[in-house]
Amino acid sequence: MKILLTGFTPFGGLTRNPSQQIVEHLARVKPVSDLVTAVLPTEYERAGERIRALIRDVEPDAVICLGVAQKRAAINLERIALNLNDSPASDNAGVVAEKRCIESGGLPTYQSTLPLTKMANALRQHDIPVQLSDDAGKYVCNHVFYVARHALEQAGRVIPCGFIHVPAVTDDEPGLPLATLIQAVKICLDTLAETD
């Protein structure tokens, strides 16, 4: 199974983005045999273009996009992508997108097609805090989640695709150590590969 795994560059006040750190680590150790990794720019337009190009060129069997949600204390398996950019925060290109539709005429929402329940159960078995979430935000993370699902739908490709938010890297709450975040994503990759 060829899995496409993406993360993001730092943004806002972050000097490091744990999603990028996880992706770069897993690119080196290759926990599954056919893993393709990429770090997306934290910019609406460029990130959307990049995920579309990756899906087209890589032709993956599954897509997992990672992002950081700094105030959350658990791995968040996102269930819903909204057709909406709506954040007062600017992206790394200085764009503020408030109340903007991502795809004109597109569906209002897309559901994750990852095996979220299996992933959550596997994480709990390893005592890693996890939540199923209906709020992927309305910033670049949600944008990429929506664009990835839309691109696959437009191409007629029915494959697992979704988004996982990780908390900030810290030994204190809220947050988790980087080693735990890496372990969590490896577990999700393994679970996905097993359901092939």
For residues 147 and 40, the answer to whether their CB atoms sit within 8 Å is no
C-alpha 94/C-alpha 43 separation (Å) is 8
The residue written with tokens 């209906």 in the block is 134
**Measuring CA to CA, which residue among 169, 178, 66, 69 is closest to residue 114?**
66
**Measuring CA to CA, which residue among 66, 68, 6 is closest to residue 36?**
6
Active-site option among 65, 141, 161, 188 = 141
Distances (CA, A) of 183 to 21, 31, 37, 38, 47: 12, 10, 16, 19, 26
Active-site option among 43, 143, 161, 165 = 165
Q: What are phi and psi of 93, to 5 degrees?
A: -95, 5
Active-site option among 43, 65, 78, 150 = 78
With vertex at residue 136, the alpha carbon angle to CA 135 and CA 139, rounded to the nearest 5 degrees, is: 125
**Measuring CA to CA, which residue among 8, 6, 56, 9 is closest to residue 35?**
6
For residues 11 and 90, the answer to whether their CB atoms sit within 8 Å is no
For residues 144 and 163, the answer to whether their CB atoms sit within 8 Å is yes
Clarify whether 141 is annotated catalytic. Answer: yes
> Catalytic residue positions?
78, 141, 165
